[in-house]
Structure 1
Amino acid sequence: MNLRDLHYLVAVADLRSFVQAAERCYISQPTLSMQIKKLEESLGVQIFERTNKKVLPTEIGEHIIASARRILQEIDIIKELAETAKDALSGNLRLGAFPTLSPYLFPQLVALIKQALPRIRLILVEEKTDDLIQQLKSGTLDVALLALPISEDFLESTALFDDAFLLAVQSDHSLAAKSIIGQSDLSGQQLLLLDEGHCLRGQALQVCQINGADEQQDVRATGLETLRQMVIAGTGMTFMPRIAIREYSAGIRYIPFEEPVPKRTIGLVWRKTSTRGVLINELKRLVQQAASV
């Protein structure tokens, strides 16, 4: 057994196809099939069930594949350690953020990273919070921008900036003329919120509870831009984080809240075992700079 065989094994498991796995690994399909067969014979177990239409891991195969993934991840860590020892501000940087933040922060941040860290190869990932935490845990992400607090023993975090919420209403709504929104203004109101799984949904529900408002039950959106368009269409009102507010959008008005202003705290999160402290410190500075643009 060698590392090449483990790569073949994981490719077949990922793609459920010997043909596609061979293409990924840049070898012929018969060669890959032969190597997997040899591996099974050497271990004395069947790793995959094979039919004309599909390939499925066996029960023992699932455990072997999981071990192969861990071994390959450890190899990547060894390589990364060696690279960062040579130059802490070079190599791959796998950065994640959730969907209600990434489209509004990444454009400014990418430009700053390109200028300040020219030897970094930036890989961006947009996923919901739970998925990002799992990717941090598995080692497929280096760092992530998340709404704090994050309660995970294996993670370290630091707050970078606060992102205040504003009330978004149609420009001819009865509240549109107000310069500031108070608790009594929201009492009894129904608001449009994001679908399940978005951290912003949970934050918005807390604001609703505090201010005596409720969720509009018959409509939910999958993203902030959909919420924005529904407000413009007169479907309802919503909370909008300041970072997502454009200087001018026809048909919509954004009104700030009175103190205490509802907000989310955005932080950088990474594994406690990470060896990229120098790069993480530089990234903190760049994220704060991007958020202030």
Structure 2
Amino acid sequence: MRLEQLYHIVAIAQTGSISTAAERAYISQPALSSSVSKLEVELGVPLFKRTNQGVHPTEIGQAVIAKAMEAIDLLEDIKALAEENTRSMTGSIHLAVEPFISNTIMVNALTTFKYRHPNVNVLMKVGESNNNLRDIAAGKADFGVVMKSCSPGGERDLCFRELFRDRLVLLVSRESELADGGSITLQEAMAQPLVLYNTEFATDCWVSELLGGYGECNVAYRLDSFPMLEKVISQNLCAAFAPRFMSDYFVNKGSIVPLEITGAELDVSIVLAWTKRHHLSLIEKEMMETIKSFCAMFEFIG
């Protein structure tokens, strides 16, 4: 039994896919399959069952994988003891981040993290929060920073750690006749031509979910380009809902004005999210703490 075999069976259990696990382990799919098969022969029990819906642990496989995760946890503790002195962390992190967060909090968080840990490779995908949650659940991302329109929790197999809470505002062009009002009712806001940020042609974005309980929105555009979203707002073609903490970012642009929304409390949670099947490594926990430190400036809304 080799240590990498333990990593392999844990990766398959986390992703539910041999091909995805092989990609994450930077080896070929046949090599990963061979590694697992040899371990199954050595142990004398099947660890996985293959179906058309993916790869799933057997009953004994679940017990073996749980022990493998304990062994990996212990190994991470040993690494932590060594790296406490050297501070030379290595490895890779796959992140899925909401664009409102990537353009603000993540800029400082990534810069600080890379300064402290230059040998860690960070791969960050920017996408709409609901799409990011699907990627996290599928094992395509180690964890994410996403927006949620309700209290964290409820999704099966997902863990959430709230960073802070915020409230939505409406972004309009400085040229809009609404710009000087300072506020707008929710119904008036929903009647404006709106642009929503969507990725991969999915229309179940978190903004749609939050507003769905208040009626129909007048959606004019669904875009997966944040710069284009900014442009259509600044050109007075439409408006957009956004978290209040982004206000300074847009105000500094000079062409976009945030309006407070009256008539409803559109609260959102900014959370860290990961799947229960994923073992958080030392470097991932370090990245989470770095992100959390840059969220401390934002106050909770009661």
Give TM-score scaled by structure 2 length.
0.59
Q: 1:154 to 1:198 in 2, by over 3 A?
A: same
Q: 2:105 touches 2:291 (CA, 8 Å); kept in 1?
A: no
Partner of 1:228: 230
Contact 1:132-1:144 within 8 A present in 2 as well: no
State the alpha-carbon separation in 2 of the partners of residues 142 and 223 from structure 1. 22
How far does the alpha carbon of each residue in 1:22-58 deviate from its partner, in whole angstroms, 9 at most, with x for none? xx659xx9xx7xx79x97xx89xxxxxxxxxxxxxx9
Q: 1:80 aligns with which of 76, 89, 92?
A: 76
SS of the residue corresponding to residue 125 of structure 1 reads strand
What's the CA shift for 1:106?
Answer: 0.9
Change (3 A) 1:149 1:85: farther
Letter in 1 for 2:97: A
1:161 aligns with 2:164: yes
1:160-179 matches, within 5 Å, as 160-179=163-182
Change in CA separation of 1:8 and 1:201 when aligned onto 2, cut-off 3 Å: same
Rounded to whole Å, the distance in 1 between the matches of 2:170 and 2:294 is 25
Structure 2: distance between partners of 1:262 and 1:102: 21
Q: In structure 1, what is the Cα distance between the partners aligned to 2:80 and 2:158? A: 20
- Which letter does structure 2 place at the counterpart of 1:123? V
Deviation larger for 103-112 or 93-102:
93-102
Residue 19 of structure 2 is aligned with which of 14, 38, 58? 14
1:108 is aligned to 2:115:
no
1:83-140 alpha-carbon deviations (Å, 9 max, x no partner): 235457964573542334223221011233346x548836343354454466368596
2:256 matches 1:252? yes
Aligned-pair CA distance for 1:239: 1.4
- Structure 2: runs of 5 or more not aligned: 12-17, 43-49
Cα distance in 1 for residues equivalent to 2:243 and 2:4 = 47
- 2: CA distance, partners of 1:136 / 1:203: 21
CA contact (8 A) 2:169 2:242 kept: yes
Q: Separation in 2 of the partners of 1:142 and 1:192?
A: 27
- Aligned position for 1:215: 217
Whether the aligned pair in 1 keeps the contact of 2:152 and 2:271 (CA below 8 Å) is no
Question: Which residue of structure 2 aligns with residue 264 of structure 1?
Answer: 268
Deviations along 1:258-277, one digit per CA (max 9) or x if unpaired, are 47553422123456775869
Matched residue of 1:267: which SS? strand
Correspondences of 1:23-172 after superposition (within 5 Å)? 25=27, 77=73, 79-84=75-80, 86-87=82-83, 91=89, 92=91, 94=93, 95-114=95-114, 117-118=116-117, 121=120, 123-126=122-125, 127=127, 128-132=129-133, 135=136, 138=139, 141=142, 144-147=145-148, 149-152=151-154, 154-172=157-175
TM-score by length of 1: 0.60
Query: Could you list the per-position Cα deviations for residues 166-195 of structure 1 after superposition, in whole angstroms to 9, with x for gaps in the alignment?
Result: 222233322122122234643744423233
The answer on whether the counterparts of 1:88 and 1:278 sit within 8 Å (CA) in structure 2 is no
CA distance, structure 2, for counterparts of residue 62 and residue 281 of structure 1:
29
8 Å CA contact 2:165–2:268 kept in 1: the answer is yes
% identical equivalent positions = 15
Structure 1 residues 255 and 77: alpha-carbon distance in aligned structure 2, compared to 1, 3 A threshold: same
Q: Is the 8 A contact 2:113 2:287 kept in 1?
A: no
Aligned Cα root-mean-square deviation (Å): 5.5
2:284 counterpart of 1:288: no
In the alignment, residue 111 of structure 1 is paired with which amino acid? T
Other structure's SS at 1:202 match? helix
CA distance in 2, matches of 1:170, 1:85: 53
2:197 maps to 194
SS of the equivalent of 1:257 reads strand
Please tell me whether Structure 1 or Structure 2 has the larger radius of gyration of its CA atoms. Answer: 1
Aligned to 2:14: none
Q: Check 1:88–1:247 CA distance in 2 against 1; reply closer, same or farther (3 A cut).
A: farther
Number of aligned residues? 269
